[in-house]
Amino acid sequence: MSGTNAELTLPVGRKLCYAEYGIPDGLPMFYFHGSPSSRLEPGMFGDELASTGFRIIAPDRPGIGGSAWQNERSFTDWAEDIAHLADHLGWPNFALLGNSGGGPYVAACAALLPQRVTVAAVVSGAWRMDAPEVKANLPFVNRLFWILARFFPLGLRLLLTTMRTSGAAAQSESPSESDLKRLHAMLPLPDVAALSAPGRMKATSAGIAEALSSGTRGAAWDARMYVRPFGFDHTQIRVPFRAFHGGLDRNVPLALVKRYIAQIPDATLEIWPDEGHLSAPCNHIRDILEALQR
């Protein structure tokens, strides 16, 4: 099962769109995509999800991809949506995995749905992207997205419009020479290598293009949430919490991850010193999912 699309009409009448991966009778898991991305993001793992033992549901967040806009949405609202989606699927309990910007969404559900979450995991997980560790450890070009989200929302939407155009145009299976030149200027070598794998550049671009397919408003609001108070207390998380991170990550600094993970009781952090932001999930998705079954 690879990327089968479906939707749910929530009790308030709002549509929630999601894709299904893995195996139909596998262990239940929700996958929360990055920012900006969409329910198509797990496509970057190719066939890896078909033999991991999980039935994986990847929902679009409100205003992103096929999911309807929600005014003034919060992380608390997301936990409510996931509870409704789990009820619809017949899942009394489920695991969580969030990649990159999906990290705070995992933490919110772990904090607010403790009776239903069996285990929570984040890989390359973002957190408060206006934190001192971000400014101290990331170059300006990597911080620009979050600076715009905090201080210049219109500028962010203009940037997202550019990303929508470039994402929709990226149809090649592997990066072109001009793509590689641009990637080498922005990313560590492990991330460039991960994007160079056949089909991965196309899958990653498709996830971004779908996120912005209905406009930039949803993705812009999503970005805003990482530079505002989260509205839940991650120190109250009591479900098993696992974090995985690359030591060469230029998108989310390891120093930030170490600080917030240390504040979650009994949480664990596994560091891959030679991995970047993208290469960490791409090269270790099987390891991560196996760890969640133990």
In tens, the pLDDT along 208-237 reads 999 999 999 999 999 999 999 999 999 999
Q: CA–CA separation, 80 vs 86, rounded Å?
A: 10
Asked if residues 19 and 4 have their Cβ atoms less than 8 Å apart, the reply is yes
Secondary structure of residue 40 in the 3-state scheme: coil
| 143-177 pLDDT tens trace | 999 999 999 999 999 999 988 776 554 556 666 76
Predicted confidence at residue 210, as pLDDT, reads 95
pTM: 0.95
Please, what are the domains in the chain? 2-291 (3.40.50.1820)
Average pLDDT over residues 288-292: 93
Alpha-carbon dihedral 206, 207, 211, 216, rounded to 10 degrees: -70
Predicted confidence at residue 274, as pLDDT, reads 98
Predicted confidence at residue 169, as pLDDT, reads 47
Predicted confidence at residue 283, as pLDDT, reads 97
Q: DSSP of 191-213, one letter per residue?
A: HHHHHHSTTHHHHHHHHHHHHTT
Predicted confidence at residue 52, as pLDDT, reads 83
Bridge partner residues of 161 (DSSP): none
